[in-house]
Structure 1
Amino acid sequence: MKHRLHWRSRLALACTGVVTFGLFRLLMMAPGFTETIYGRGIGPFFASLLSNISGIIPVSLAEILVVVFVARQLSGVIKGFSEIRNGDRQFTNAVLAGVLRLGADLGIVITTFYLLWGFNYARPSLESRQQWDGSHAQVEELTRLAQEMINAANFEYVSITSSEDFGQPTIGPQHATLVEQLSTSWKFAEEILGLPRAALLGFGNPKRSWASVVLDYGQTSGFYFPWTGEANYNRGTPDVSAPQVIAHEMSHQRGFAREDEANFAGYLAASLSDDSYPRYSAYVFAQRQLLSALSGYDTDHARELVRQRLPGVQRDIRAANAYWQQFEGHASRTTRSMNNAYLRTNRVPGGILSYNRSVELLIGYARSRGGRLINP
């Protein structure tokens, strides 16, 4: 039996992915052009359209599509081995067909990734777009902002629990309530961040992942899926972190590709909520970022500030740390390596270390508002 390779069509699809990646590298050299055409043009339109369509379905389409993609690749391998074993196909023909098929699939994945969302990596930085400057932070500045966040988190903790130590980790709002709170506060953040009109058409709600066990062992709190415009988060995420994490994934929907920018935008959206728990989550996140930066200059001073946390706040942070530490292992290290490779491929300086650079955005934002992170 003769098995056609369909090599022309499959090679063309694979080459499309290569060409699209090449276009991305060219756009990296013209961030202003990318911002005009993509960042404030077709990019937000694609994200909003896909998000609203996928948002009609309550479950994560992202996870379904991942399973379908993996099943397609496995079925091809199984079919190839079966045909070789039965003598219906030569080994070299089967291998070449498999390589061409995988190449074509990856070409489609890469092309659609960049067209639907990935070109956001080629936009100017948020710091540049907002004309903020968060560089060369001074110890006094880090101390003042960390102190502000510690005081704010302490205040919100008492508002939530009516005590300085609830005796157990705090319990956040239910999923539907939290999504509603963050969707409302994101409208304020969108105005501050000057998001394009296309991004203001709305987005589908964040979804809880059914693969949370997999995410746990990868120490992953959430992910954005550009092909459906869905913001997915790990349902096991500790409550104290959940609002900021969800707001972080929602920021990816709104075109924030870099992780430091998504971290900051997630903080900002949660901090602007009318409800205490999202604000509490934001302030805990920000103080941890600032204290981490401060400890690089003055460890003793950072420890002194940590001691100013209320016992209940410290309990929440320790519980969150303990939750993720139980999943430390080979799977989490592999996930970090893959994420690092992905970020570096998309020209994110520092790879996974970029997550921690949101402190520069916190500082730049505070400097633009009179030296404070919270409006008086």
Structure 2
Amino acid sequence: MKRKFLLPIFLIVQIILVKTIGLFPDFVEKWYSNGFYPKLAFLSRSILGKLPFSFGDVLYFVLIVLLVRWIWKHRIGFFKEWKNNGLAVLSWVSLFYFFFHLLWGMNYYRVPLHEKLQIEKEYSQQQLEVFIEKMILKTNELQLAITKNDSAIVVIPYSDKEIYEKSLAGYKNLPEDLKEFSYENKSIKSSLFSLPLSYMGFGGYLNPFTNEAQVNYLKPKYTSPLTTCHEMAHQTGIASESECNFIGFITASKNDDLYFQYSAYSFALRSGLNNLDRIKKGSSKPYLAKINKGVIKNFNENEIFWNDYQSPITTFFEYFYDNFLKLNQQKDGMEGYSKFVGLAIGYDEN
């Protein structure tokens, strides 16, 4: 058999193997998510975490340059040589697929967190309204404690580097039933691609090949503590976006720093209000009057930022990532981000 067929055939074998193993989440949980992966992740973060820049972003940049160069080189007669070019593309896809699942991606197939904690993730409108009331009280309390003025916007005084350092404290305060997601050896970076990430609609991402947590440093800083804790949750082996939001919320709210707590509770409040509006449009309005004006100003700051970067690029990447998640056991797609509210309600009631 010619070598050019090996990697494309290997891709088919990999897909079958991954999907078959994925049918046994207990196996994935024991041997990968709590076996092989933590050791690999610890090693990756120990080495790359010491670098002052994002090695993963540099790697992506080099690969993008090589891809553009390859496309340019083969632009003439590309379709005439469709078989060879197609095999070359499939070979690269095969390599990416292999390293993605080996280094991080198998976590998509682990046991869901709500099953491990034995909590319900579905909730009624009444439960959601009770949750929103709790979040309003806590968010207002924190905003007033920080600013001493219920109409003042919260401005985090820390640098990005200080936020990344302080994020570790929340993971040290995890409740006993979540201790398996404890975190050591920090590897958190401000993404070199923060401008493209803004147009793509992302506040951050985990590089699955280097295990570096990447944070978009351009977005409103009051949201950065929660985003950082979210990306750190990915590093601990959680693939689900809703579960990462939940762990991010828990760790930021358990942090002794008031700014981290505010980032957590204001995020949970905003998510709860959005979910209530999905149940019945306009049903969040009565609750807005109960929220401190300073909190509303922070919400507006965040909304204005993302609206300024809204473009067809955003729509494309949201569509792409939505389908990527659905192909990887996340049936809710992008909606999964807001599903953490159910986990928070279930965990609180339990």
Q: TM-score range by the shorter chain?
A: over 0.9
Provide closer, same or farther for how the CA distance between residues 193 and 239 of structure 1 changes in structure 2, counting only shifts above 3 A.
Answer: same
Aligned match of 2:23: 29
Q: Give CA-to-partner distance per residue, 1:307-332, whole Å, 9 cap, x none.
A: 11111011000110011011112010
Aligned to 2:96: 109
1:51 aligns with 2:45: yes
The Cα of 1:188 is off from its aligned counterpart by 2.1
- 1:317 has 2:303 as partner: no
**Quick check: 1:27–1:34 contact (8 Å CA) kept in 2?**
yes
Q: Is contact 2:117–2:177 with CA below 8 Å preserved after alignment?
A: no
Q: In the TM superposition, what is the alpha-carbon distance from 1:277 to its structure 2 partner?
A: 0.4
The match for 2:340 among 358, 361, 365 is 358
Q: How far apart are residue 32 of structure 1 and its match?
A: 1.1
One-letter code aligned to 1:280: Y
Q: 1:360 to 1:172 in 2, by over 3 A?
A: farther
SS in structure 2 opposite 1:159?
Answer: helix
Shift of 1:36: 1.0
Residue 300 of structure 1 and its aligned partner are, at CA, apart by 6.1
Shift of 1:364: 1.2
Report the equivalent of 2:160. 175
CA contact (8 A) 1:172 1:239 kept: no
Q: Which residue of 2 aligns with 1:223?
A: 205
Give yes or no for contact 2:48–2:187 (8 Å, CA) kept in 1: no
260-269 or 98-107, which moves further after superposition? 98-107
Contact 1:157–1:280, Cα closer than 8 Å, also in 2: yes
Unaligned stretches of 5+ residues in structure 1:
1-6, 85-89, 369-376
Quick one: distance in 1 between partners of 2:304 and 2:72?
41
Pair 147,115 (structure 1): closer, same or farther in 2 beyond 3 Å: same
The alignment partner of 2:206 has SS state of strand
Please state how far the C-alpha of 1:222 moved relative to its aligned partner. Answer: 0.6
Please name the residue that 2:186 is paired with. 204
169-178 or 277-286, larger mean C-alpha shift:
169-178
* Cα distance, 1:234–1:161 mapped onto 2, change above 3 Å: same
CA distance in 2, matches of 1:153, 1:230: 30
Q: How many angstroms apart in 2 are the aligned matches of 1:184 and 1:20? A: 39
The amino acid of 2:125's aligned partner reads V
The 1:147–1:79 alpha-carbon spacing in structure 2 relative to 1, beyond 3 Å, is same
The alpha-carbon deviation at position 91 of structure 1 amounts to: 8.0
Deviation at 1:256, TM superposition (A): 0.9
Q: Deviations over 1:105-141 (max 9, x none)?
A: 2111100100111111111111011111132x23332
Q: Residue 187 of structure 1 aligns to which amino acid in structure 2?
A: K
Percent identity over the alignment? Answer: 26
TM-score, normalised on structure 1?
0.87
Which has the larger Rg? 1
1:77–1:98 CA contact under 8 A, matched in 2: no
2:160 partner letter: H
Taking structure 1 as reference, are residues 105 and 300 closer, same or farther at Cα in structure 2, changes over 3 Å only?
A: closer
Offset of residue 92 of structure 1: 4.7
Determine if the alignment matches structure 1 residue 18 to structure 2 residue 15. no
> d(CA) in 1 for partners of 2:193 and 2:253?
28
1:285 has 2:272 as partner: no
- The one of 117, 121, 128 aligned to 1:142: 128
When the two chains are superposed, the root-mean-square deviation of aligned CA atoms in Å is 2.1
- Name the CA distance, whole Å, in 1 between partners of 2:187 and 2:105: 21
Report the Cα distance in structure 1 between the residues aligned to 2:143 and 2:187, rounded to whole angstroms: 27
- Relative to 1, partners in 2 of residues 1:300 and 1:104: Cα closer, same or farther, differing over 3 Å? closer
Output the CA distance in 1 between the equivalents of 2:73 and 2:259. Answer: 52
Report the Cα offset of residue 180 of structure 1: 1.8
Q: Is the 8 A contact 1:14 1:108 kept in 2?
A: no
**Which residue among 111, 119, 122 is the counterpart of 1:124?**
111
What do residues 171-196 of structure 1 show as CA deviations (whole Å, max 9, x unaligned)? 34211221122111112237441417
Q: Is the 8 A contact 1:60 1:230 kept in 2?
A: yes
Instruction: Specify which of 59, 66, 76 is matched with residue 72 of structure 1.
Output: 66
For residues 143-158 of structure 1, what are the structure 2 equivalents within 5 Å? 143-158=129-144
Deviation at 1:219, TM superposition (A): 1.3
Whole-angstrom CA distance in 2 between matches of 1:190 and 1:114: 29
Could you tell me how far apart the structure 2 residues matched to 1:258 and 1:76 are? 34
Q: Secondary structure at the match of 1:203?
A: coil
Query: Which amino acid in structure 2 is aligned with residue 171 of structure 1?
Result: I
2: CA distance between counterparts of 1:17 and 1:169? Answer: 50
Structure 2: runs of 5 or more not aligned = none
Paired residues in the alignment total 350
Question: What TM-score, normalized to structure 2?
Answer: 0.93
